[in-house]
Structure 1
């Protein structure tokens, strides 16, 4: 079964990629989508059999991968609860995106290539989440990066799409460099990249007593940048390097700049890669390596700070964005920050729970925005929309459900609520009781981010669907509801956005935690956050609910009752508005510090180093001198007999001179 789950998307990629032009676009769509539906159904079967059964971790061998000295890497699937949760997320969303794309991309002439890329991405992601060792994980990690590059730049004739694809690829390479170094460090510390071996030997890095360490742990075990590091410092450095990879893939500050630009790809790509799957790879990786991160308090502190700051930063930028997809993109960036805060607090199950619920409502929002864009003739600027509520009612209500789930609408202290109500609120409550030194700051930042999230989410709804139409009469005349092939995936995702929290919260973070996870996530005995977050004061439980109401109220006032107010505020606070609209000037700062110097260096090496020195003194220079000499020599070929006779006399004189004087030298 697990072989089919992983390799059916690969088979679909090969069929559509190699034979797509032969079998046609329709056949490519049906083959790839059919394989993904089968893979998704099998994933749900695996989810219930592993998560709700008595089966603990096991491996499914595939083949021998690498064997070189002490490095022994076998290609195998590691199957436990964390794996099957990710299988459900990846394959369910991917299957629905495949089906949705049949309608969304039906006018595109390159559909076989598009569906081949979608299936390739899915296969790479499955390789990542089923990996039994870090080398296999890195293989899937890089495969996901390649597929995202191909999908973001799918419309390669658009310069903006090409630039976005290159930007995503380059920024992720920065994080991947840290991830690779982290894998090397793990191999040095543990002598293996196999997850089972690594986890079995983490006891050597545990303090022998609270606040103490053994003499063996004080000995240097790793040389990093010229520093000899003991067990604790080495583990911290390795964890931070691994987290650097997660920051790139999961768009955490300062490696977040690629995510909004990635909206240049088709909308189904945004839903698949940048809402539910690829961007959660970093969260999955850190959760998978919880036995390492749990032993490094410093690394968890950094993870908490980066996550909290990203959640706050992205929420502030989302307040003023006008592109409907960019608003949702910054929402994704912010929600990923929530997940990393949970991981930094040692609340790994809450992070994965939010990953699970977020996949449903964020994919719903992205595909819903695609339905809006499809209805208004590919327009993405919300300032040119409005009044669409009655024209595309199904899309409107799907977007409402997605917004309710994102903002965490529910009744505190009950089981009545949307998916985000259970997972996001749990993270905020966990931050309140966390023992991490950053926990209090994280709690404040997350509550503020929740206010902003509610504001920009309802701002999107009000600007897009309510008020007077702001599009041209021609566009409004052609507004139409999406076909059922696009709406059915929305209905399924809406069901997940409404019910996933109610159904599964007791298993992910409640009383059935132990039976569900069965040790797939590691926590130290002194980590009591799973119990403590249930005991928070009532005002803490009410704070996310109050944040949601505050954001909703302000958005309603600004965009329904007084639409002129936002323009007046923007005019009064031009500096702040420009600061947020330009995303805190991160792109401009990176252009100044890295991009422009790199371009100047490249131009210098090109013009001066390669052109003037290497070519000028090398091949081009030599050839030019040969041409100069020959141009002078050919002048001797004048055609006059006395010129040739004169040249012969000079030659004879030179020969006689050499014969007379040559022996004397």
Structure 2
């Protein structure tokens, strides 16, 4: 696992130092980023296998059909695991290189050569892409193993594993692409795989609707990426990273701002950030392994990758950077507030994911001071959040697929492994030392308190939001943990139940621990939740590892001392935990949720995000469409049909004159002759005078 593999990395990428430095990185110039080389070291030639192996797995499982029902699941696991082995080889090879040789562009073949556009298909291998590759393949393999048991009784599980392999392949295309156009191919691929997996149980209407909602809202975000591609081609004449990043410092601020905002729209769609976040909660309709892989650890973090990868563009667009920070700050509070009111365990975790990605987006928008911390939190979050989603699936497995936390309680007595592994993830997301979240999320909070360009108001505003989010996170995640594993039993064990709001009437439940194939991945992810953050932070190792991409930065002090920020954060976290303990562990939790305050009722409805989307976009769109249809029928069709009617009516009148009588024709000819003679005489008379 990466926690072991990364140990030798510390000797290469970092120097021993204090685990909690008193100062933070400040700013860098774009020139400090290591330029890419086209000289491909031997082991890097294996990189295409990273994509080809899971793609082969998907193709085999889909083409062979039901003949692979017996072995298809394990074949999918094998392809994902093989891709992880290749990722380890590439990673270790990169560690052996000096930092200034760790950015490699590996061109595979030419794709488009038309006019001034020359696009090839290639891979960019650098610390950023390799970090994502390790995360996707390692966590992906664990989730594949978990799914073998979770989907054991599903008659279509072969197709499920084909879609999982397809997703892994598409995600690897996205993070390994050496141009925005190839990245777009992977971007669309993960969107397709997400649609297929969310709607996997499409015989239920709710799942099919959720899949369509996610697909459509992601298409809105994709429009931003398409616009960015067009602007890049118009402004730089190319869409590959090397050319765009090299020319960005010389480009105009207006162009870079437009591109940066367009890329942000794409990031908001894929990473469920405000205002394109409404699809994520509904996406929990898919099988739980999908939620763990796609909607916790990998796909929803693609927006963070896009912003960090596009750092040279944002460095020249301070307005776009500020908008990125604002979007992250709004979303982290938005998701946290929603999480406080959700009773569905998976939807509560989805709200948490939205909030935590908001932290990452905020950090990425801070510029060089936050790039490495955004990716740091992305990696640790991938472990503890995937572990908690798998834990939620284990609870559902033991509770007959129930998801309502108000009908759980006291499960720690029956599901020890799930309770412990979930609890370790809970401590990690709270940011309790020495768990992983402490090293990553707290660094984002500290970075948010650093003044940018001497503007202290930004430090107080965004730092305050990040600090407040930590306290709310502690409350709603503790609420989830206590309602599920502690407090009083709120499910029917067949021994009779009380009446009223504490009634446990319902199906008889027999909670039990999940099988080894499900608990083993949870244990591995729990170990990462405990140890990975400290290992990566040791000696500033992870920041140094990413420095060829994010640059080497100087140090700056936040507006408050680091020790004060750490203390204040822990105090808020402790208050959130104690409040949740008193309300959901000590007190009896009613089965029927109380009416609650106005904010609580709004949070239960996702702060009316669907209603706002309907009012702002859907209904005006419907009215516009109906108006266009009316105009088309009345003006366009009406005009042509009216002209046709006029011609037809004229023909009807003229046809009445053709009665077949010779005398009528003779009279008509005589009348015509008289008219002609009269005209001739009139003309002759007028000329003579």
Which of 325, 332, 335 matches 1:314?
335
Which of 8, 11, 18 matches 2:63?
18
Residue aligned with 2:429, SS:
helix
Residue aligned with 1:26, SS:
coil
Matches within 5 A, 1:210-249: 231-249=252-270
Matched with 1:369 is 392
Q: CA deviation at 1:606?
A: 6.5
Matches of 1:584 and 1:52, distance apart in 2: 50
Matches of 2:397 and 2:628, distance apart in 1: 46
Which of 206, 222, 225 matches 1:176?
222
Residue aligned with 2:550, SS:
coil
Matches of 1:113 and 1:615, distance apart in 2: 51
What is the number of residues matched between the two proteins?
Answer: 597
Matches within 5 A, 1:458-607: 458-473=478-493, 475=507, 477-506=509-538, 510=540, 513-514=543-544, 516-522=545-551, 528=554, 532=557, 536-563=561-588, 571=595, 574-602=597-625
Residues 1:418 and 2:435 aligned together: yes
Matches within 5 A, 1:346-385: 346=367, 347-385=370-408
Matches of 1:153 and 1:142, distance apart in 2: 17
Residue aligned with 2:387, SS:
helix
Structure 1 runs of 4+ aligned residues shifted over 4 Å read 474-477, 564-568, 600-618, 655-665
Matches of 2:338 and 2:424, distance apart in 1: 23
Matches of 2:557 and 2:414, distance apart in 1: 48
Residue aligned with 2:548, SS:
coil
CA contact (8 A) 1:56 1:518 kept: no
Residue aligned with 2:71, SS:
helix
Matches of 1:657 and 1:408, distance apart in 2: 108
CA contact (8 A) 1:402 1:494 kept: yes
Comparing 65-74 and 331-340, the one that deviates more:
65-74
Q: CA deviation at 1:393?
A: 1.0
TM-score by length of 1: 0.84
Matches within 5 A, 1:31-430: 31-51=75-95, 53-54=97-98, 55-205=101-251, 231-346=252-367, 347-410=370-433, 417-430=434-447
CA contact (8 A) 2:83 2:137 kept: yes
CA contact (8 A) 1:183 1:242 kept: no
Matches of 1:430 and 1:355, distance apart in 2: 15
Comparing 92-101 and 42-51, the one that deviates more:
42-51
Residue aligned with 2:124, SS:
strand
CA distance 1:153–1:477, shift in 2 (3 Å)? closer
Q: CA deviation at 1:245?
A: 0.8
Q: Deviations over 1:427-470 (max 9, x none)?
A: 00111124164332111111111111111111111111112221
TM-score by length of 2: 0.81
Q: Deviations over 1:290-328 (max 9, x none)?
A: 111122221111111111111111111111110000110
CA contact (8 A) 1:433 1:536 kept: no
Which of 412, 435, 442 matches 2:462?
442
Residue aligned with 1:201, SS:
helix
CA distance 1:462–1:151, shift in 2 (3 Å)? same
CA distance 1:125–1:533, shift in 2 (3 Å)? farther
CA distance 1:534–1:349, shift in 2 (3 Å)? farther
Matched with 1:432 is 449
CA distance 1:56–1:380, shift in 2 (3 Å)? same
CA contact (8 A) 1:250 1:279 kept: yes
CA distance 1:533–1:653, shift in 2 (3 Å)? closer
Residue aligned with 2:432, SS:
coil
Comparing 556-565 and 8-17, the one that deviates more:
556-565
CA distance 1:51–1:352, shift in 2 (3 Å)? farther
Comparing 253-262 and 172-181, the one that deviates more:
172-181
CA contact (8 A) 1:28 1:112 kept: yes
Residue aligned with 1:351, SS:
helix
Unaligned runs of 5+ in 2: 1-45, 495-506, 673-689
Matched with 2:37 is none
Which of 27, 35, 40 matches 2:71?
27
Residue aligned with 1:389, SS:
helix
Matches of 2:450 and 2:635, distance apart in 1: 64
CA distance 1:653–1:79, shift in 2 (3 Å)? closer
Residue aligned with 2:123, SS:
strand
Q: CA deviation at 1:535?
A: 9.0
Q: CA deviation at 1:151?
A: 1.2
CA contact (8 A) 2:373 2:543 kept: no
Matches of 1:490 and 1:610, distance apart in 2: 60
Residue aligned with 2:412, SS:
coil
Q: CA deviation at 1:394?
A: 0.9
Matches of 2:374 and 2:349, distance apart in 1: 20
Matches of 2:439 and 2:115, distance apart in 1: 48
Greater RCO (CA < 8 Å, at least 6 residues apart) = 2
CA contact (8 A) 2:150 2:518 kept: yes
Q: CA deviation at 1:663?
A: 6.9
What is the root-mean-square deviation in Å for CA atoms of aligned residues?
2.9
CA contact (8 A) 2:376 2:542 kept: no
Matches of 2:198 and 2:638, distance apart in 1: 37
CA distance 1:89–1:58, shift in 2 (3 Å)? same
CA distance 1:31–1:511, shift in 2 (3 Å)? closer
Unaligned runs of 5+ in 1: 206-230, 411-416, 630-649
Matches of 1:480 and 1:511, distance apart in 2: 41
CA contact (8 A) 2:487 2:587 kept: no
